[in-house]
């Protein structure tokens, strides 16, 4: 996890966090593939995103299940389609 409070961007390699944020209408603006063993999902950093990240790690985030699964499928598709 990368909590860049003052940065304009937020990134994470945790696909479940990325899917959760995506399901909550925080669009993925890029995927950093510079590391050989993992990718990082990049988001625009906002106070709302930071609140959702904190809630995710505190296990206090509520997400509609079908939206979460659709986001996870979409992220996995993006990862495998652009290898």
Looking at residue 17, its pLDDT comes to 98
Q: What integer pLDDT is reported at residue 82 of this predicted model?
A: 64
Per-residue pLDDT of the chain (83 residues; tens, 9 = 90+): 455 567 899 999 999 999 999 999 999 999 998 887 889 999 999 999 999 999 999 999 999 999 999 999 999 998 887 66
The phi-psi region of residue 7 (left if phi > 0; otherwise alpha if psi is between -120 and 50; otherwise beta) is beta
Distance (Å, whole) CA 38 – CA 27:
20
Query: CA of 6: how far to CAs of 13, 19, 48, 68, in Å?
Result: 19, 23, 14, 27
| DSSP symbol at 32 | E
């Amino acid at each position: 996890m990368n909590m860049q409070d003052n940065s304009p961007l937020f990134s994470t390699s945790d696909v479940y966090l990325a899917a959760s944020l995506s399901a909550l209408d925080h669009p993925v603006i890029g995927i950093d593939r510079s590391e050989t063993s993992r990718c990082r999902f990049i988001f625009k950093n906002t106070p709302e995103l930071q609140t959702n990240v904190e809630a995710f790690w505190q296990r206090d985030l509520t997400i509609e299940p079908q939206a979460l699964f659709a986001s996870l499928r979409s992220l996995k598709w993006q990862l495998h389609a652009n290898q």
